[in-house]
Structure 1
Amino acid sequence: MKIEKTIPLLRIFDVDKAREFYIDWLGFQEDWVHQFEENTPYYIQISRGELTFHLTEHYGDCTPGGKVFIDCSDLESFFNELQTRPYKYYRPSIEEAFWGANIMSLTDPFGNRLLFNEYKKA
C-alpha cells in the first residue's frame, strides 16, 4: 500500500462561519460542496496548496476539538498575509516551540485546532 494523501475531517456547525474563517481569513478555496437537499448538513472540501480539509456538519462524522499538526515552510509569510485581512475573533502569533520549531496555533469557531509548524534549519 502507498498512501497518496491524508485529508482530515473537521466538524463544523455553521457553514457560513466556517467559510468566514477558512476561506475569507485563512485563504483556502472551496473545491466542492455536497448537500443532499435544502436544510440538510453540508459537507465541503477546501484546500490551500497541498493542504486539504473536509468540513462536515454531519453528526457522527467526527467530533469537534481535534488538532491537526501541519508541517510547513515560510510560516512568517503566512502570518503576515493573515495580518492583511484581520479576523475580529483571532489575533495569532508565532511562537518558538521547545522542539526547535516556530509554530502558529489557531482554533476555528468550532473548537478544532490547527498547529502550523516550521522546523528551524540547523
Structure 2
Amino acid sequence: MKLSAAIPIVRIFCVDKAKEFYLDFLGFTLEWEHRFESDFPLYAQVSRSGLTLHLSEHHGDATPGSTIFVAVEDIDALHDELHAKDYKYAKPDIDTTGWGRVLQVTDPFGNRLRFCELSQEE
C-alpha cells in the first residue's frame, strides 16, 4: 500500500475573490475547473511548487476557517514575493516559533495557510 500526499479542500464563496487571492497573490496556477452546470458551484484545482489545493463553492465540502500547514524552504523569498505584490488585504510577516519560522495568510473566506520553514535540529 502507498499513501499519496493529501489534497486539502478549501471552502470558497466567491470565485473572483478566490482567484485574486490564490492565483494573483499567492502565485498558484489554475489547473482545472469543474461545474456540473453553468450556474452550479465551482470546484477547481490550483497548484504551486508541489502543493495542490482544491477550491470548492459546494456546501459541505469543507469548513470555512480551517488551517493548512505547509512546510516551505526559503520563507524569506516567499515573504519578499508576497510583499512585492502589494496585495491590499494581506501584509504577512514572519514569526519565529519553537519549531520554525512561520508566515501565515488568511484568504477572503477565513481559511489560513500557515507556511513554515522548520527549524533544523542539531
Superposition TM-score tier, normalisation by shorter sequence: over 0.9
Q: 2:103 aligns to what?
A: 104
Task: Give TM-score, length-normalised by structure 2.
Answer: 0.95
The runs of 4+ residues in structure 1 deviating greater than 4 Å are none
Q: Following the alignment from structure 1 to structure 2, what is the Cα–Cα distance between the partners of residues 72 and 3?
A: 21
CA RMSD in angstroms comes to: 0.9
**5+ residue gaps, structure 2:** none
Q: How far off its partner does 1:39 sit?
A: 1.5
SS at match of 2:47: strand
- Measured after TM superposition, the shift of residue 37 of structure 1 is 1.4
Could you tell me the percent identity over the aligned residues? 48
Q: Shift in Å at residue 98 of structure 1?
A: 2.4
Match of 2:2?
2
Compute the displacement of 1:120 (Å).
Answer: 2.5
The reply to whether residue 23 of structure 1 matches residue 23 of structure 2 is: yes
Which AA in structure 2 matches 1:53? L
Q: How far has the Cα of 1:63 moved from its partner?
A: 1.4
Q: How many residues align?
A: 121
CA distance in 1, matches of 2:89, 2:106: 10
Q: TM-score, normalised by structure 1?
A: 0.95
